[in-house]
Amino acid sequence: MIIVTGGAGFIGSAVVWRLNQAGHDKILVVDHLAKSEKWKNLARLRFDDYVHKDEFLRRLERGTIPRAEAVIQLGACSSTTERDADYLMANNYAYSRTLASWCLERGVRFIYASSAATYGDGASDYVDDESMVDRLRPLNGYGYSKQRFDQWALASGAIRQMVGLKFFNVFGPNEYHKGDMASVVFKAFGQIRNTGRVQLFKSHHPDYADGQQARDFVYVKDCAEVILWLLERRTAGLFNLGTGIARTWNDLTRAVFAAMKLPPQIDYVDMPEALRGRYQYFTQATMAKLHAAGCPVTFRSLEDAVRDYVVNYLQADDPYLAPQTVPAASIRSAA
């Protein structure tokens, strides 16, 4: 049994998809579907059972969770604009700590999602050096809640028996339920389809021209590939998960236009005042540590990843990830 928390979400469902491709369907999906459209991410995947995240904690306390080979903890509040710090700490810190402790007591493999948001303004140059974690200054509550768990894992020594992944700007299929937190690729595709144009934020930093703000954009399929590789090894520690190459918003937007076979038409609009003091103008993962661990995954170029996403998903009749073969009887339950 492999447990994937947040398994109906964006990255979580991509991980379930990749596990299915690798022949795994003994999977317990943990999530909170509520009134969202996340259930559609599960509709074509194979898994053994679905459990609400609160019921899952109750089962942990009662000791009724089946023996697991691994837990992939991707369940969290992923909104970088969430202002309720108690909510963030409960979901991104306390929940992860409870689950990690359960895994450590039983020798269960534990892989969890940290975030590049822990780096704040990037003064540390995005180096995944564990000795520098306490020096990081996140720019928002989301980043702090992720950093707090990293700090606990390091201070307790638990990180020597688990893997934390600092995801950078992930985009790709199955993010459709994320609303304002969806990637600019998804948003740009919608804007182009509706108006033929894309709006990007103007720069409010003298060192960056409009649209030249840069991010390390990484395709969700590549992230799932890294996690599958980590499941099969005893590698431990805190690692960046990006491509190692920063690209601009202009690059990203032009890649979407190119995938749609349209000329680029970009308008620059003022950034909301509330975001200006908490905005990252440049992110780029340092990937030497993951490469040194032996990870063989080759990350797609921005253009190749955007083309795959646009042509094979956003422009397709069914935009959701699905294994190559999905026997209907393999899905035990999706409540």
For 219-277, the pLDDT digits (tens) are: 999 999 999 999 989 899 999 999 999 999 999 999 999 999 999 999 999 999 888 87
The pLDDT value given to residue 276: 84
Cα angle 232, 218, 164 (rounded to 5 degrees) comes to 45
The Cα angle at residue 235 between residues 234 and 240, in degrees rounded to 5: 150
Which of 93, 95, 142, 144 is the catalytic position? Answer: 142
Helix axes of 302-309 and 249-259: crossing angle, nearest 10 degrees: 40
DSSP type of residue 202: P
Question: Is there a catalytic annotation at residue 142?
Answer: yes
pTM for this one?
0.93
- Stretch among 11-25, 181-195, 213-227, 267-281 having the lowest mean pLDDT: 267-281
Taking alpha carbons only, the member of 122, 102, 99, 124 closest to residue 112 is 99
CA angle 209, 125, 211 (to 5 degrees): 15
* pLDDT average, residue stretch 287-308: 97
On whether the CB atoms of residues 111 and 163 are closer than 8 A, the answer is yes
Q: Which of 142-146, 174-178, 220-224, 246-250 is least confident?
A: 142-146
Q: What integer pLDDT is reported at residue 327 of this predicted model?
A: 37
> Does 178 qualify as catalytic in the annotation?
yes
- In this structure, which amino acid lies at residue 98? T
- Supply the pLDDT for residue 66: 86
- Active-site residue among 26, 53, 178, 187? 178
pLDDT in tens, 75-118: 877 677 677 888 888 888 999 999 999 999 999 999 999 999 99
